[in-house]
A and B are shown apart, each in its own frame.
Chain A
Amino acid sequence: MTGMLPPGFRIQRETNTEEFFINMGPQHPSTHGALRLALRMDGETIVELVPHFGYIHRGMEKQAESMSYLQYIALSDRQDYLTAIQNNLGVVIALEKGMNIGVPEKAEYIRVMLQELGRIASHLVFFACFGGDLGGQTCLLYGFKEREMIHDILEEVTGSRLTTNFFRPGGSRYDVPDTFIPRVKAFLDHMDDTMKDYERFLSKNIIVLERSKGIGILSKEDAIAYGCSGPVLRASGVNFDVRRANPYSIYDSFDFEVPVTYNGDCYDRYTVRIAEIHESMKILRQCIDRFPTEGPWRAKEKPVRLPVGRYYSEIETAKGLYATYVVAATTGEKPYRIHTRGPSFPHIAALNKMVQGHKISDLVTILATLDPVIPEIDR
């Protein structure tokens, strides 16, 4: 195409066919929220993609400057609402570094168990949406069925289904109820059987294989260069998991594997997530065996006042690397600035690289396997 291109498009090429532009979103069922993608098409083939963000930019970082640290924990729920309980921990670890307080053993176990439950819940939504985006409505129903069991546990422990706002510097808001461990045990036993069903649905389904193998390949170098993390990075052959690379909480005391695959296509991103559900269940089983029934469930309560300095924490959520950067310019209850690094933002940045040369129907598959959550990009 010669002449002026719309903003963002860069590739210059000579063609005999006439190119055209398609606008996908901001309201589109398969963009997983308010994301807008501008597509430059050559027939059915995508030449270039430009993402447009900001349709759910809520100015959280500006707001955080007039909030106290504890109030920001509630805001972090609303960034990546699928892994709200994990975001809470990311913020809380940064605050703990600033306050220089530790966490008792039981609180650590509560944290790890809720983290892994949150991870399974998020991956189940991925499973549901991946199946749903490929046209299999059954997967939607199944994925959300088991997720409700996790929501029941979360509701019993934290009082809320989705936006948990649970962890606090030094531990958590409440102790876990007596029914917590039996419930998790029952859930795991149920999940063992159900996972077989799940894998039977998609893993060897010929439609899924045809539509996801060799589609949207992200090479190892590109994945690192674009700052991808989590299952997307591990599917490209990089063995990077913050739980292993920079262990936080008590993750270094558990026996689990980091699933890695090497093709970097859509099917690999799917298998990595399915394998991660299994690993999370493994960690949960170890937690149940070692869960301390005695002992304090939180450290001594202190006012959340951070001394002057900059504090950084990073955790592995279901989507990838979630980092919090807190700047305290004056000792007090309010941050000077809080910045959050969400895992989905770099994934969408790398999307242009993945979709080039693929058909427009493949874009839906690729986007589904990136599993983005848009409010966490826009914040």
Chain B
Amino acid sequence: MGIINYAPKILDPIPGGKYVVNAIDYVVNWARANSIWPLTYGTSCCAIEMMSSSMARYDIARFGSEVFRSSPRQADLFILAGTITRRMAPAIQMLWEQIPGPKYAIAMGACTISGGPFIYDNYSVVRGAQNLIPVDVFVPGCPPRPEALFHGLLTLREKILKETCRNPWQVGEPKDVSTMDRYREAAKTWAALEEMKDEEMAEARAKFKEENPDYKSSFKPIRIKKEDFPEVERVPFKRMGLTQSDIYAKLKEKFPAVTVHTHSEDPVEDVVAAMPADRPLEVMVTPEDYLPMVEFIKNDASLKMDYLIDIVGIDYDDHFDVVSQFRSMEHGHKLFLCLQLKKDFSIPEEQRATALLAHAPSISHLYPAAEFKEREVYDMFGIDFVGHPDQRRIFLDDDFVGYPLRKDFTHPEMIRRPV
């Protein structure tokens, strides 16, 4: 509040001056509490509820907060709507520092309070906004309803009204991102408390039994009868384009090494013919056949796989599977190519976590869509795509250590889900 904070120093020595100070407090706080301008910031689901709250039905203007400012320099309130990731954390701290004081922060939603649904087995989510910036009000919910956000706003209003010239707003300390282990400590303390509680309860129960040996509980559980539902036969969706057998025969003719992964003893042709209509054919391809086969299915007139749906990586003990999913826009059939890549175990064991363990040919010159998908597989699995024009990490920072979707991935911030 700047210069007004000096009012008590000047006015208090004057007889009756403190009444003037109180009057100044009243007027200033009335103005501040009724015009809290939030920053336009939102990362995920909570942002939509924040938008809903400012629209016609809920009308945040009733509380004087309708002016969403796009520039942090004009804002008073930072509504942290949506999950905060480690990559976003520096941006949030920067935004917070750009907001001129007195400034306030509302942590909206479970993610910004504790990590919410992303608390366990997660390597990228910051567990709570209070690790980054000082937060005034927490609004629980996933996502909170607009009414809950309003309750948070009104709570903040009360907090603002309590501030005076004598006890002005203080800058909170921005926190360091690296000090997030307190959750593990808290979990340990919590477990100890639970144990203590269990012991006490057992003691109390024993004591109660001693004092009332003939006590019998009158509690009877009520059983609600479950509704009976019939078993329904599954009807496969309609097939479009060529059948799985036709596609398989075509590929087998051109590439004899092609197989289909099955667990049964029957010949592959029978397994393919017995597939339900809505199940796409997935064939196993050797790395040598991969690029010619992609070219073949793209250019062949009856197959014409011109649309790349996705590229998926799967990690197994000794190999990676890279499944490229294609569909034909014209005919409507789909074909999945499963490329099996043996892991390169010649790399010393201590370097494996950070090394590229396999190499695959890139198909980004045939399908421009593959460029970003291959970058994703590279980022998550550490598979090198030979011939990729721009192979960089896509979702994680360049200095991130390890490849998260490998099964043996470890991260210091990851907490295992308790079973």
Give the B-binding residues of A (Cβ under 8 A): 7-8, 10, 26-29, 33-34, 53-63, 65-67, 74-75, 77-78, 81-82, 96-97, 100-104, 125, 140-142, 144-145, 147-148, 151, 161-163, 170-171, 222, 224-227, 238, 240, 245-248, 252, 296, 298-301, 308, 310, 312, 314, 321, 323, 325, 327, 329, 336-337, 339, 341, 345-346, 349-350, 374-375, 378
Contacts and interface: CB of A to CB of B under 8 A. Distances in A.
Contacts of A101: 231-232, 234
Interface of B: 40-45, 47-49, 51-52, 55-57, 70, 82-83, 85, 87-88, 91, 95, 117-118, 120-125, 142-143, 145, 229-235, 237-238, 240, 263, 276, 278-280, 282, 306-310, 312, 314-316, 323, 325, 329, 332, 334, 336, 367-369, 371-373, 380, 389-390, 392-397, 404-405, 407, 409, 416-417
Nearest to A64: B121
Contacts of A378: 395
25 contacts: A7-B392, A26-B91, A33-B82, A54-B87, A55-B85, A55-B91, A58-B85, A58-B124, A59-B123, A81-B45, A96-B234, A100-B234, A101-B234, A102-B232, A102-B234, A103-B232, A104-B229, A162-B48, A170-B229, A170-B232, A224-B307, A224-B329, A312-B280, A325-B310, A339-B310
A296 B397 CA distance: 50
Contacts of A61: 380, 405
A-B CB proximity, top 8 nearest? A227-B369, A102-B232, A144-B55, A54-B395, A81-B45, A102-B234, A57-B395, A341-B310
Contacts of B125: 58-59
Contact of B229 (A60, A226, A299): A299
Contacts of B369: 225-227, 346, 349
Given A29-B70, A65-B407, A246-B237, 9 more contacts: A54-B85, A58-B85, A62-B409, A81-B143, A102-B235, A144-B55, A336-B314, A349-B369, A378-B395
B278 A53 contact: no
Contact of A141 (B56, B235, B312, B407): B56
A33 B307 contact: no
Given A162-B143, A336-B314, A341-B309, A62 B404 contact: yes
Contacts of A246: 237-238, 240, 278, 332
Contacts of A82: 48
A227 B40 contact: no
Given A33-B42, A308-B263, A323 B52 contact: no
B238 A145 contact: no
A27 B49 CA distance: 17
Contacts of A100: 234
A150 B42 CA distance: 22
Nearest to B39: A27
A56 B232 contact: no
A3 B416 CA distance: 47
Contacts of B91: 26-27, 55
A163 B45 contact: yes
Query: In this complex, which of A7, A81, A101, A312 has the most chain B Cβ atoms within 10 angstroms of its Cβ?
Result: A312
Given A59-B122, A339-B310, A247 B238 contact: yes
Contacts of B118: 58-60, 63
Contacts of B334: 312
Contacts of A140: 51, 55
B237 A247 contact: yes
Query: In this complex, which of B230, B307, B308 has the most chain A Cβ atoms within 10 angstroms of its Cβ?
Result: B307
Contacts of B310: 323, 325, 339, 341
A66 B315 CA distance: 15
B309 A321 contact: yes
Contacts of B41: 27
B231 A300 contact: yes
A57 to B, nearest CB: 4
B2 to A, nearest CB: 27
Nearest to A132: B51
Contact of B52 (A54, A148, A245): A148
A336 B321 CA distance: 13
Contact of A78 (B45, B233, B263, B367): B45
B319 to A, nearest CB: 13
Contacts of A26: 88, 91
B120 to A, nearest CB: 7
A299 B325 CA distance: 31
B44 A227 contact: no
Contacts of A296: 229-230
B204 to A, nearest CB: 35
B229 A300 contact: yes
Contact of B405 (A62, A161, A345): A62
A58 B122 contact: yes
B229 A66 contact: no
A227 B309 CA distance: 7
Contact of B395 (A27, A53, A65, A301): A53
B121 A66 contact: yes
Contact of B43 (A56, A103, A151, A162): A56
B117 A59 contact: no
A173 B368 CA distance: 41
A145 B394 contact: no
A77 B231 CA distance: 28
A225 to B, nearest CB: 5
A55 B122 contact: no
A47 B183 CA distance: 47
A300 B226 CA distance: 11
A58 B282 contact: no
A360 B214 CA distance: 83
A325 B373 CA distance: 15
A335 B371 CA distance: 27
A101 B229 CA distance: 13
B232 A104 contact: yes
Contacts of B44: 33, 56, 78, 81, 374-375
Given A26-B91, A81-B44, A312 B232 contact: no
A350 B367 CA distance: 12
A323 B42 CA distance: 26
A263 to B, nearest CB: 19
B395 A224 contact: no
Nearest to A141: B56
Contacts of A238: 329
A375 B48 contact: no
B405 A53 contact: no
Contacts of B390: 7-8, 10
A74 B40 CA distance: 27
A54 B394 contact: yes
Contacts of A78: 44-45, 117
A325 B323 CA distance: 10
B374 to A, nearest CB: 11
B70 A55 contact: no
Contacts of B397: 54
B120 A75 contact: no
